Structure formats: structure tokens, C-alpha cells
Amino acid sequence: MFVFTLWVMLQTLNDDTPKYRDRVASPGLVIRPNSLNIEFNRSDPLEYGQYVQHLESFLHQYNDSEQAKNDLCMAGQYSEQDGESLKKVCQFKRSLLYSCSGMEDTTFGYAKGQPCVIVKMNRIIGLKPSGDPYINCTSKSVKPLQMQYFPHEGTIDRMYFPYYGKKTHKGYVQPLVAVKLLLKKEDYNSELIVECKVEGSNLKNNDERDKFLGRVTFRVLVTE
């Protein structure tokens, strides 16, 4: 009887989509390079080389040549494909990150003391954020800090949603936002705290019980 009951329960499960998805309503934010403490001497390639290598490795899947195999989707609209067995993947070319793509500047700004940090949302199956989500970063230190966003204004287009799961949505890549920290000479040798949040939508970013829900905070210290 137990075996039969277990078999019946298994028949209700979908190999592609979890049966219950109500635990996490909003995604967390993470950064690349994969460190919340970015510290280096801009004059020493051995110190910032690990960050450059990690960014280059991470962005390989976003190479324009790889993304050219994917679909050109309609900007501003959800890519809903509930009835399709083969889900299309929307292009996100690394060239959209411009001076943080590693194509113009192979050190991603680290050699110039103006490092790039890439922000991305964790994947959540079925997520369709309302509004027009974008990434906004602020300095939590005493010193103000200028930043530049790629794509423009840190936008996250709705065409990359929803995500249908690893098995069904093969080749899917998350949209990215690159943040270039426009540090000046007077900013060197001082610890800077930067907080990035997803804004402009119904996604949560101020839950005190989860510091990574819709936001991420990291530390930067550049010397010369």
C-alpha cells in the first residue's frame, strides 16, 4: 500500500518544474567577480588578475558568437512560452556591457583603478517582475561615488522572463547589469561600501531577515 501511494504521488511531479514554488517570491542578487571583498593594487596585475580571470570566464557564455545562436526577442515584453516544448532563449550579448564587457578593456577597468562589477539576479522559475526593473547602486561610505551602468541606466528587460527551468529552458542565461565604479585618485586607499538593489518593480529589496533578497552589498579597496 505504501509503495502504491508513493507511486501515485510521483505521478503528480513534473520533471521540469517544481510542484511548489511559493517559498521564494523574489530573487537574490549576486555579483561577479565572486567576492564581496574586492581589494587590489591597480599597479599590480598579480593582485587584480584573479578578478579579471573570473569575469572573463563567467562572460564566456555571453560571447557575441555564442549568443548569436539564440533568439532576438521583443524588448519590453515577457517571453511567455507555456505551450512550447522547446523554449527559445533570448540573446544577451556581452557587448551590451560596453566598457565592462572585457572587449575594449581586457582588464575590466581594474588596471585603471575603475573596476567593473557585474550584478545578476538568481534564477526563479516562472518569475515575471512587474514594472521596469533596474539595478541601482549607492555608496554606503562617507565619500560619494560616481558609477556608470551597462546596459544604460541598469535596466533589466522583461523579455528575459519567465525562466522555465534548467531542463526545459536549455541554454538560458540571466540578463546582466555591469556597474563601473568611477573611482578618482582621492578614492584610493579608502574602504568603500557599495549596495546594489533591484528597483522599479514588485521585487523585494528591503527584507531585514535576508540581506541578499533583491540586494547585495560589497566592499572595495583600491590602492596604487
Residue with cell 529552458: 169
**Please, which residues have CB within 8 angstroms of residue 135's CB and are 6 or more apart in sequence?**
29, 119, 149, 154, 156, 177, 179, 196, 197, 198, 199
Please give the Cα distance from 117 to 150 (Å, whole number). Answer: 10
* The C-alpha cell that represents 85 in the structure block: 516544448
Q: What is the pTM of this model?
A: 0.88
C-alpha torsion sign, points 80, 65, 116, 209? positive
Query: Is pLDDT at 111 greater than 90 in this prediction?
Result: yes
**Please, which residues have CB within 8 angstroms of residue 133's CB and are 6 or more apart in sequence?**
155, 156, 158, 198, 199, 200, 201, 203
Average pLDDT of the chain, as a whole number = 90
Task: Summarize pLDDT for 13-49 with one digit per residue, the tens.
Answer: 445 454 444 454 789 999 999 999 999 999 999 999 9
φ, ψ of residue 39 to 5 degrees: the values are: -135, 130
Give the closest residue to 174 by CA, choosing from 127, 121, 117. Answer: 121
Give the closest residue to 117 by CA, choosing from 62, 55, 72. Answer: 55
**CA geometry: angle 100, 102, 104, nearest 5 deg:** 90
Judged on CB neighbours under 10 Å (0-12, 13-18, 19+), 2 is exposed
CB neighbourhood size of 133 (10 A)? 22
Percent of the chain at pLDDT exceeding 90 = 81
Please give the Cα distance from 39 to 116 (Å, whole number). Answer: 13
Task: Summarize pLDDT for 170-190 with one digit per residue, the tens.
Answer: 999 999 999 999 999 999 999
Task: Summarize pLDDT for 41-85 with one digit per residue, the tens.
Answer: 999 999 999 999 999 999 999 999 999 999 999 999 999 999 898
**CA geometry: angle 183, 184, 188, nearest 5 deg:** 80
Give the closest residue to 194 by CA, choosing from 101, 120, 119. Answer: 119
In the chain, which ranges are continuous DSSP H helix? 2-11, 45-59, 64-67
Average pLDDT of the segment spanning 113-138: 96
Tell me if residue 133 falls in helix, strand or coil: coil
Between the CA of residue 139 and those of 85, 187, 220, what are the distances in Å?
45, 12, 11
